[in-house]
Amino acid sequence: MRPVARLSELNDIDLVVDSIKARLAEIAEGLKEPAALRSARTALAGVEAEVAALRVRQQDCELRQKTADEKLAHNEKRLYGGQVHIPKELQDLQAEVGQSRRQRSQAEDELLETMVAAEAAEEKRAAAQKTLDALVAEWATRQVELRTGQAKLKKRLETELARQAAARARAPSQLLLMYDTLRVRKNGRAVATLLDNEVCSECKVAVSPTKAFALRDGDELVYCENCGRLLFGE
């Protein structure tokens, strides 16, 4: 086998290894938790805090309502029980009853308002939870797919790396540095094929007849005049 044929063989395997590694890098990137899932979690936490705050406010209103109720009952009992006779005391008591009624009514209004708000927040929480659950499920499925693909590719990579090492060992060692440098410069493809005995397979530009002849008949290295790749005539 000609030296360039060895390099061509190595180049094919190198490109396969490159693409497997690129795909594995994509999978690793894909295995990071999606931004949508993170923001759904944040959204849910926000609504949960809102619900909790409204529940606390609701309890506070209930307590204020209860306190006003008790005070009202106590004062009404005194007011209508006939035990208080002094006009000033009666007047104060009446004022207190009036205040307790206002406080109770205020607490009731606020309680109602809070309950309505809490209910709306609860609905929002349920919707946020539903969104999050759907995203979590979707993400779980996606992860399984990705991990299955990843496992397969890792196995394949092992095989290809072994083939790559063997092909590299077979390739003429004095040409490897040139090959590696060219491969880096030419986006992974260092060796091009001469198609129909005249055209470079990579840049599609015709090669001079002298070069085509040299490729057919000699062992010397021939490069494409246009793209600079090493040419291999099959």
The least CB distance from residue 233 to Zn ion, in Å, is 13
Interaction between residue 224 and Zn ion (CB under 5 A): yes
Interaction between residue 227 and Zn ion (CB under 5 A): yes
The least CB distance from residue 199 to Zn ion, in Å, is 9
Span of 50-58, 84-92, 141-149, 224-232 interacting with Zn ion by CB under 5 A? 224-232
The least CB distance from residue 181 to Zn ion, in Å, is 17
Interaction between residue 164 and Zn ion (CB under 5 A): no
Q: Select 37 or 203, whichever has its Cβ closest to Zn ion.
A: 203
The least CB distance from residue 3 to Zn ion, in Å, is 19
Q: Select 135 or 224, whichever has its Cβ closest to Zn ion.
A: 224
DSSP 31: T
Whole-angstrom distance, CA of residue 11 vs CA of residue 13: 5
β-pair partners for 223: 230
C-alpha count within 13 angstroms, C-beta hemisphere, residue 35: 0
- Whether 179 and 171 have beta carbons less than 8 Å apart is answered as yes
b/e map 175-206, b = 16+ CB within 10 Å: beeebeebbeebeebbbbebeeeebbbbbeeb
| Tokens matching residue 193 | 């094929």
Q: Select 72 or 224, whichever has its Cβ closest to Zn ion.
A: 224
Report 175-204 residues binding Zn ion (CB under 5 A). 200, 202-203
Whole-angstrom distance, CA of residue 71 vs CA of residue 78: 11
Interaction between residue 226 and Zn ion (CB under 5 A): yes
Longest distance between any two alpha carbons in the chain, whole Å: 133
Whole-angstrom distance, CA of residue 88 vs CA of residue 91: 5
Interaction between residue 214 and Zn ion (CB under 5 A): no
How many residues lie near Zn ion (CB under 5 A)?
A: 6
Span of 21-29, 85-93, 151-159, 225-233 interacting with Zn ion by CB under 5 A? 225-233
Q: Where do contacts with Zn ion occur on this chain (CB under 5 A)?
A: 200, 202-203, 224, 226-227
